[in-house]
């Protein structure tokens, strides 16, 4: 009977109470039929990135408004077309991040059959202005040796350890099945579990004693008392003060005496 592969771009939901599948009738500007893509959900929206079909390979990004069943093309591509990459959504403040790793990449525009196994990490920032970052690029040009990078692969499993702020990757395929395990610390990208939005007042006397209100988000990750660090001149001078976590969006403290910095 032979073998034939067919790509789809339909959308289905699974009701976990009834264990029944329901197809959604969507409109708007849907992605082309594909497989090997990455998909994730955030706050009522489903995002689809990359993939391939029998005619083309993709590095595009689409978003589905699930409630309104409306597709839109975000016109936000990353790198070269790729498929079968690993992806993982990570909570960060003030905006979440989606990490992708590896997959097969169409570096030379030669089609899927000539794709090469990739080692690149991409980060999609899901803030008010969505954007892609490629954090490994600077390290690869600098001190990081390629020998410290995991070999390129597709179909790898990836998870996130929030305690150590690291991505962990296991196995995959690179012309053979792999069983190695790698980790990378992404604390510089994810950041701490809080963010500072405003300091009031922004200036005060060097003699200290000024009550300061620090506004932000995520402060409840530290209960009760906290340490507030003040720094100047590119962190060459620093001083600490004890702060009080009032609520998730407010910390109060009294500034230290830093007259000796002058």
Average pLDDT score over residue span 94-123: 85
Q: What is the mean pLDDT of residues 17-37?
A: 96
* Closest-CA residue to 102 (of 169, 186, 148, 175): 169
Residue 117, token pair as written in the block = 């196994």
With the C-alpha atoms ordered 161, 157, 32, 108, is the resulting torsion angle positive or negative?
A: positive
Supply the CATH number for residue 240's domain.
Answer: 2.60.40
Query: Biggest alpha carbon distance in the chain?
Result: 86
Say if residues 167 and 156 touch (Cβ distance below 8 Å).
no
- Count Cβ atoms within 10 A of the Cβ of residue 190 and give its class: 0-12 exposed, 13-18 middle, 19 or more buried: buried
Verify that 184 and 199 share a domain, yes or no: no
User: Are 254 and 241 a contacting pair, CB within 8 Å?
Assistant: yes
Q: Check pLDDT > 50 for residue 128.
A: yes
Q: Do both 216 and 160 map to the same domain?
A: no
What is the band of 42 on the pLDDT scale with cuts at 50, 70, 90? Answer: very high
pLDDT at 147: 54
DSSP H or E run through 188 = helix 187-190
Residue 139 pLDDT exceeds 50:
no
Task: Categorize the per-residue pLDDT at 138 as very low, low, confident or very high, splitting at 50, 70 and 90.
Answer: very low
Our count of domains for the chain comes to 2
Q: Domain boundary at 156, 190, 224, which?
A: 190
Is the C-alpha dihedral spanning 221, 223, 227, 231 positive or negative?
Answer: positive
Picking from 190, 143, 133, 138, the residue whose alpha carbon sits closest to that of residue 167 is 190
32 has a pLDDT exceeding 80: yes
Choose the final residue of a domain: 142, 158, 190.
190
Give the pLDDT confidence score for residue 136 in this predicted structure: 62
Distances from the Cα of 199 to the Cα of 3, 29, 140, 237, 245, angstroms: 64, 43, 37, 19, 14
pLDDT digits (tens, 9 = 90+) for 234-252: 668 889 999 999 999 999 9
Residue 260 pLDDT: 84
Task: Please give the structure tokens belonging to residue 109.
Answer: 């525009």
Buried/exposed 98-116: b ≥16 CB within 10 Å, e otherwise: bbbbbbbbbeeeeebeebe
DSSP class of residue 257 equals P
Q: Does 233 have pLDDT greater than 80?
A: no
Are 230 and 130 members of one domain?
no
d(CA 166, CA 157): 14
Round to whole Å and give the CA distance between 91 and 192.
Answer: 10
Does the pLDDT value for residue 1 go beyond 70?
no
Tokens for 105?
A: 């990449």
Helix (H, G, I), strand (E, B) or coil at 219: helix
Give the tens place of pLDDT for each residue, 169-224.
Answer: 999 999 999 999 999 999 989 988 888 889 999 998 989 999 999 999 888 877 77
What pairs with residue 256 in β-bridges?
none
The parent domain of residue 101 ranges over 11-190
CATH number for the domain harbouring residue 70? 2.120.10.80
Q: Which of 133, 156, 190 is the last residue of a domain?
A: 190
What was the pLDDT predicted at 25? 96
Q: Is residue 28 a contact partner of residue 67, using CB atoms and an 8 Å limit?
A: no
Asked if the structure places residue 42 within a domain, the reply is: yes
| Same-domain check for residues 200 and 185 | no
Q: Which of residues 88 and 149 earns the better pLDDT score? A: 88
Peptide bond connecting 94 to the previous residue in cis, omega within 30 degrees of 0: yes
Average pLDDT over residues 72-94: 94
pLDDT for 137 = 43
pLDDT at 4 over 80: no
Contact 194, 216 (CB under 8 A): yes
199 and 185 in a single domain? The answer is no
């Amino acid at each position: 009977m032979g073998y034939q592969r067919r790509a789809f771009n339909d959308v289905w939901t699974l009701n976990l109470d009834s264990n029944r599948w329901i197809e959604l009738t969507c409109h708007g500007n849907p992605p082309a039929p594909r497989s090997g893509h990455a998909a994730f959900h955030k706050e009522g929206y489903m995002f689809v990135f990359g993939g391939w079909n029998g005619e083309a390979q993709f590095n595009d990004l689409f978003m589905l408004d699930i409630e309104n069943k409306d597709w839109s093309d975000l016109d936000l591509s990353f790198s070269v077309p790729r498929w079968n990459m690993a992806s993982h959504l990570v909570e960060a403040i003030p905006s979440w991040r989606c990490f992708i790793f590896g997959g097969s990449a169409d570096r030379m525009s030669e089609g899927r059959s000539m794709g090469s196994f990739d080692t690149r990490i991409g980060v999609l920032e899901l803030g008010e202005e969505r954007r892609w970052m490629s954090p490994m690029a600077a390290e690869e040009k600098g001190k990081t040796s390629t020998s410290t990078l995991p070999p390129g692969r597709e179909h790898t499993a990836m998870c996130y350890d929030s305690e150590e702020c690291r991505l962990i990757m296991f196995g995959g395929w690179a012309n053979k099945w792999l069983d190695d395990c790698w980790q990378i610390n992404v604390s510089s990208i994810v950041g701490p579990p809080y963010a500072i939005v405003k300091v009031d007042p922004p200036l005060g006397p060097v003699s200290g004693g000024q009550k300061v209100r620090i506004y932000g988000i995520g402060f409840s990750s530290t209960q009760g008392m906290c340490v507030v660090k003040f720094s100047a001149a590119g962190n060459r001078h620093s001083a600490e003060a004890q702060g009080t976590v009032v609520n998730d969006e407010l910390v109060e403290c009294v500034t230290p005496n830093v007259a000796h910095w002058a």
